[in-house]
Amino acid sequence: MEKFRTHLADPEAARALVGEIRHRNVGRLKENLEELEKRLVEAGTQVLWARDAAEARELVAGIARSVSARTAVASKTMVGEEIGLEEALREVPCRLLQTDLGERIVQLAGQSPSHITAPCLHMDAAQVGEILKREAGMAHAQDAEDMCRFVAAALRPEFLSAQIAFSGANMAIVETGELVIVENEGNGRAGFSLAPVHVALVGIEKVVRSRQEAACVLSLLPGGATGQDATVYASFIPAEPEAGRKRFVIFVDNGRSDVFAAGPHRELLRCIRCGACLNVCPVYERVSGHAYSWTYSGPIGIALAPFMGPPVARCTDTDLCTLCGACTEVCPAHIPLDRLIALARRTSNSLRPKAEQKKAQRMARWYARAMSGPGAFGLSHLGHRLATRFRKTLSRIESAAGWGEERAAPKPARRLFRSMFRQGRRKGRWPL
């Protein structure tokens, strides 16, 4: 801890220390998990293990049936999105309400989150207001503060009546058995404090040894996520449940062991799920999170996709990267994401059908020729010039190809920068 205090003023030193902490704990993952399980069980928490999403759904449904749950609330759980928590409870049947504001909005809209920490980042206030009018009966939904108050008032009785509260965990501390949850709204704390049963869905990589190590990680996590020095709430949930209440901790693997066994890709398990890499990714900025084929979008989702993602994500999501390296520069856990994405592309290409591999190779050769000289590069703009003249035809081609289903494709510019630059140079506007 003293080392951390000494270097806190140096962001690079702090990142290196957090990276070292995460690397050390992932390296001894088996021992950490065994010790953590022992501590939790001794304290009265029931520990369950899920090898994949299907097994996690079965465990969740079993718990809900055992307590005859009809209503559940959830907060701060990307693992819940990963395994299909809402679908699992629907079969019980048990109604699940997402209580984080962004998660509640996308749930009402029938969508999935588009960002790890900001689920409705793809919507503006007018769109959110329209959803609240249509799905929740709010009148005159225009002011952001009024919308927040409306959702909070609607959720308050749900907290009081829910039989189960689901949450995730930012970290699990081995030495104390505590679960750490950070948030800005307090919904997670309201859920596990009020419901008679608390179920925590925890990825097996989320372990740290001590409170001191947790504090080191927490010093960088809010900044990477939202630019805050600290979140409004940081809950350290004791290993021992309160009297009269039950707690279950479900440790979810779901491909994480494959990542652990995949040589250098093991470094991806150091991720603290802050979303910093998404916030700086130029591809994510243009295509939004719904262009990715699974729960985790952006650079971290691309790198994990060949090992944890569904079949579609394993074969396609690695294309959504320019390898600019911005994600590596900002990652608080010091993960070399650009290098790991390049390695993931090799794995992804090997999983594709032979016909798709040959098609990708042809496209790569064409692109290499187009970039080989100024003449070839200028010729490659023929498609751009045709697109500006035949916009309606281009729109029909995009629709037939499935482009623009999640986000409108940008219209091609009327003039290329090359032509504008040449004109400006002829008029003496440019020194070159």
Structure tokens at 3: 């080392």
Q: Are 29 and 22 in contact (CB under 8 A)?
A: no
CA angle 36, 40, 41 (to 5 degrees): 115
Please give the pLDDT value at position 386: 74
Q: Smallest Cα–Cα separation from 315: which of 360, 345, 343?
A: 345
Please give the pLDDT value at position 405: 62
Bridge partners, 179 (sequence order): 172, 237
Please give the pLDDT value at position 2: 44
| Cα end-to-end distance, the chain, whole Å | 55
In CATH terms, 259-352 corresponds, of 3.90.1150.10, 3.30.565.10, 1.10.645.10, 1.10.1060.10, to 1.10.1060.10
Please give the pLDDT value at position 380: 74
Q: Smallest Cα–Cα separation from 211: which of 247, 171, 268, 155?
A: 171
Count of Cβ atoms closer than 10 Å to residue 288 Cβ: 16
8-state DSSP, 266: G
Query: Rounded CA gap, 263 and 310, in Å?
Result: 21
Bridge partners, 237 (sequence order): 179
| Residue tagged 């990714």 (tokens) | 281
Would you write out the chain's pLDDT as a tens digit for each of its 432 residues?
A: 444 444 457 888 889 999 999 999 999 999 999 999 999 999 999 999 999 999 999 999 999 999 999 999 999 999 999 999 999 999 999 999 999 999 999 999 999 999 999 999 999 888 999 999 899 888 876 788 889 999 999 999 999 999 999 999 999 999 999 999 999 999 999 999 999 999 999 999 999 999 999 999 999 999 988 888 889 999 999 999 998 899 999 999 999 999 999 999 999 999 999 999 999 999 999 888 998 989 999 999 999 999 999 888 888 888 899 999 999 999 999 999 999 999 998 888 887 778 877 877 787 788 788 778 888 877 777 776 777 777 777 777 767 766 666 666 666 677 777 778 888 888 777 665
Please give the pLDDT value at position 403: 64
**Ramachandran quadrant class, 138 (left: phi over 0; alpha: psi -120 to 50; beta: rest):** beta
Please give the pLDDT value at position 3: 46
DSSP reduced 3-state for 7: helix
Query: Rounded CA gap, 185 and 158, in Å?
Result: 16
Whole-model pTM: value is 0.85
Residues 6+ apart with CB under 8 A from 59: 48, 50, 250
Please give the pLDDT value at position 4: 42
CA angle 205, 206, 207 (to 5 degrees): 95
| Residue tagged 């040959």 (tokens) | 358
Structure tokens at 1: 């801890």
CATH superfamily name and code, 2-254: NagB/RpiA/CoA transferase-like (3.40.50.10420)
Please give the pLDDT value at position 54: 95
Domain boundaries, the chain: 2-254, 259-352
